Amino acid sequence: MKKILFSLMVLAVVIPAGADYYIAGDFNGWNSAGQLMIDNGDGTYSATVSGLVGGARHEFKVTQGTWDWSRPGANSWFYADEDGSITITYNSNWVSDGWKTEQDRIGLSTDPGAWTIAGSFQGWDNANPATAMTPLGGGIYLFSQLFTAGEYWFKPVVTGTWDSIAENERSVGTWDMYVNLPVDSVLKVYVDSFGGVVRTEIVPEPTAMLLLGVGSLLAIRRK
């Protein structure tokens, strides 16, 4: 019983409920209560920051008015639109729609317009045209490439920078994403630039799947 109560107490600290949320960034002196976000009534909050230089890059966090709690872990980032404004959204809900992150999603009204996959397989080059992501429209980008079986680390970044969206958050310091491919496969990585989320798909290469099936059949016969 003590362990259960302790877990509930920790949860209450880590995931606050029914609180106000604010935007703190380099554009307001990192004031933890710099700009109050509007409560949309569905677990999402939004704020429009204006008066910026058009296209300028800024860093920020979502807070509850102090630095006792903030998201994401590292600074998040945005690029202002041509008019020098940006609308930031924070989703406190748990969302299971196949995209990650599943909680503490931070969305933006602007898209930097060019994304690249940087990874262990290409020297962590954040501006390599060979691994540029293809725009699909609506802020969605796709990277698709055939890989031989093995382990790979990578992350989607705004081309030429380390501004990233990965499975843990939208920030400058996202985790490296990881896959272990048992057979030759096509790895597909999707980024939703507006939603601040990513999704991966692994499609085994048909010949590799055929060989894997034959190998499994032979193993069964040996038994």
Domain boundaries, the chain: 2-108, 115-207
CB 169 within 8 A of CB 77: no
Q: From CA 20, how far away is CA 157, in angstroms rounded? A: 31
Q: From CA 19, how far away is CA 71, in angstroms rounded? A: 14
Reported as a single tens digit per residue, the pLDDT across 47-69 is: 999 999 999 999 999 999 999 99
Q: Do domains 2-108 and 115-207 have the same CATH topology?
A: yes
CB 37 within 8 A of CB 47: yes
CA distances from 62 to 88, 131, 174 (A): 9, 31, 16
**Architecture label for domain 115-207:** Sandwich (2.60)
pLDDT at position 207, please? 58
Residue (of 99, 93, 107) closest to 23 by Cα position: 107
**Single-letter amino acid, residue 84:** G
Assign a CATH topology to domain 2-108.
Immunoglobulin-like (2.60.40)
- Regions in the chain scoring below 70 on pLDDT: 1-18, 207-223
State the pTM of this model. 0.84
pLDDT at position 18, please? 61
